[in-house]
Amino acid sequence: MHTDRERCVRAVQSKDARFDGWFFTAVLTTGIYCRPSCPVVPPKPENMTFHPSAAACQQAGFRACKRCRPDTSPGSPEWNQRADLVARAMRLIADGVVDRDGVPGLAARLGYSSRQVERQLLAELGAGPLALARAQRAQTARLLIETTALPMAEIAFAAGFSSIRTFNDTVREVYALSPSELRSRLPKQSATPRTGATPGNPETSPAPGAISLRLPFRTPLNPDNLFGHLAATAVPGVEEWRDGAYRRTLRLPYGHGIVALTPEPDHIACRLTLSDLRDLPVAISRCRRMLDLDADPVAVDDQLRTDPVLAPLVDKAPGRRVPRTVDEAEFAVRAVLGQQVSTAAARTHAGRLVIAHGEPVDDPEGGLTHLFPAPEALAALSPESLAMPRTRRTTFTTLVRHLADGTLHLGAESDWQETRARLLSLPGFGPWTVDVVAMRALGDPDAFLPTDLGIRRAAKELGLPSTPAALTARAAVWRPWRAYAVQYLWATDSHPINFLPV
């Protein structure tokens, strides 16, 4: 969008928050860059230049605005609605792959050369993978500076910097303030709104490893089906709904964590307890992805409203998101456990696996007890120990074996169509299982479930075609947002997945 100058100028002059994250405005006269909704008086159009990423602004020598904090904008919805090289690279960078494995590791995960990845990112985003990862490290550093009482040296390494000097130089370059100056700008005596604790005051600081922050999103956001689905399908010991928050355990690159997510009118309150603070950027990225917070609900709903059948459903409760996952392999296993059984039965099967084979965790604030078992642990199971029909047992053991040995990889870098084909080649994987994995694990916004019982009931009630082939043909007008249409169709039922728990 940043190449459409006239449209960008209109968005900045109207302070339209819908475009936050789509592009960034760099002001030639001040040397700063802002989000489109920046509250200050808009600059003259001739003084504006537009960039596709915060990293591109930083590469061009601009520093972040202290008023609108463009580095905290919701992510571009482009990366969640596309499966090309750039989109998959951006998802991996957000998942911390460049910090852990470098650009060669990123390229290897994508199946391209480092040079090709660099060229594609520069062409579309104006910055290469190192610059994009650097911008993310700067954002993480600022978050830790402002929401914890950690010493600066610990923050530097937790944010992914290789040295304290690089940390200091980057923060000063991006924010025009040193790390200590960023912290000194915070209120001294009262709690900060993001943490309930004052950095530097040990008596009010949260427990070690605990961080509270806000996850922004584009409005509107309807939390009912989003949190209702996660709570209704929660696996005992791994997930729970407690005190108005969805809580779950996280398996992360450097350790494990526990997250509590609470829906608020203008943000999602997020409390993370991590065994290793280096996992903070990855944990945030995965939680945002699970809650579909980078979606553009206005674009989705406007498209679905063009269908007179869906329009009343959208108008009644706009802003539905697709509930996704923090662990693609875990979800694929749970999808198999949920084949042809009720939600309660699927939770029971998963709960047994968790108790028997999950890794124990300590949760002093709730009732979480385990991480979901890793594919390697599940692959070592004896098939006879699984309380399920023989055909589903074969499906389960084949899936976990392929996940464990790496012949099937489900992750942020997955090509949606290629992964669909791989899944369909496995025994017991039919269209429903493949598409529910595509929708909730891979993040395909156009995944559709014409054979799903809830969809068929909704279709009958709304006068839509009842056969899968006819319904698929009718749903062509909902593309490329059929996964969101599924949420609106499911919402016509009284199933617990459609209601925010009380």
**Does 194 score more than 80 pLDDT?**
no
11-61 pLDDT per residue, tens? 999 988 878 888 999 999 999 999 999 999 999 999 999 998 888 899 899
**Does 264 score more than 70 pLDDT?**
yes
The first and second tokens of residue 147, run together, are 């929401």
**Who wins on pLDDT, 3 or 112?**
112
Please say if 34 is a catalytic residue.
yes
For residues 64 and 121, state if they share a domain: no
pLDDT on residue 202: 34
**How many domains are there within the chain?**
3
Note whether residue 277 is domain-resident.
no
H or E segment to which residue 379 belongs: helix 375-379
Domain ends where: 57, 73, 89? 73
For residues 51 and 113, state if they share a domain: no
Give the residue-averaged pLDDT of 89-112: 91
For residues 67 and 95, state if they share a domain: no
Tell me the C-alpha distance between 75 and 53, whole Å: 10
Tell me the C-alpha distance between 121 and 271, whole Å: 32
pLDDT on residue 158: 86
Tell me which residue range forms the domain holding 423: 328-498
119-161 pLDDT per residue, tens? 999 988 888 999 999 988 998 898 888 878 889 998 998 888 9
Note whether residue 358 is domain-resident.
yes
Note whether residue 201 is domain-resident.
no
67-90 pLDDT per residue, tens? 888 877 777 777 777 778 888 998
**Does 212 score more than 70 pLDDT?**
yes
Q: At 89, which CATH number?
A: 1.10.10.60
**Does 205 score more than 50 pLDDT?**
no
pLDDT on residue 188: 61
Domain ends where: 158, 184, 210? 184
Note whether residue 200 is domain-resident.
no
Domain ends where: 15, 41, 73? 73
pLDDT on residue 203: 36
Give the residue-averaged pLDDT of 169-173: 91
Q: At 25, which CATH number?
A: 3.40.10.10
Q: What is the DSSP letter of 465?
A: -
Secondary structure of the chain: what % helix, strand, coil (to 5)?
Answer: 50, 10, 40
pLDDT band at residue 198 under the 50/70/90 scheme = very low
Q: At 459, which CATH number?
A: 1.10.340.30
pLDDT band at residue 208 under the 50/70/90 scheme = low
**Does 475 score more than 80 pLDDT?**
yes
Please say if 4 is a catalytic residue.
no
Give the residue-averaged pLDDT of 271-298: 93
**Who wins on pLDDT, 494 or 196?**
494
Of 99, 294, 446, 452, the catalytic one is 452
Of 8, 34, 68, 270, the catalytic one is 34
For residues 34 and 140, state if they share a domain: no
Tell me the C-alpha distance between 135 and 146, whole Å: 17
Note whether residue 179 is domain-resident.
yes
214-233 pLDDT per residue, tens? 898 989 999 999 999 999 99
Tell me the C-alpha distance between 152 and 173, whole Å: 17
pLDDT on residue 84: 85
* Beta carbons within 8 Å of 117's beta carbon, 6+ residues apart: 85, 89, 103, 106, 107, 110, 129
- 29-to-9, 33, 45, 70, 199 alpha-carbon distances in Å: 16, 11, 11, 18, 34
Mean pLDDT, the chain, integer: 89
For residues 433 and 489, state if they share a domain: yes
For residues 382 and 453, state if they share a domain: yes
Give the residue-averaged pLDDT of 473-499: 95
For residues 359 and 427, state if they share a domain: yes
Give the residue-averaged pLDDT of 267-286: 93
Note whether residue 239 is domain-resident.
no
For residues 68 and 99, state if they share a domain: no
Closest CA to 492 of 353, 280, 309: 309
For residues 60 and 18, state if they share a domain: yes
Note whether residue 237 is domain-resident.
no
Note whether residue 284 is domain-resident.
no
Tell me the C-alpha distance between 258 and 274, whole Å: 7
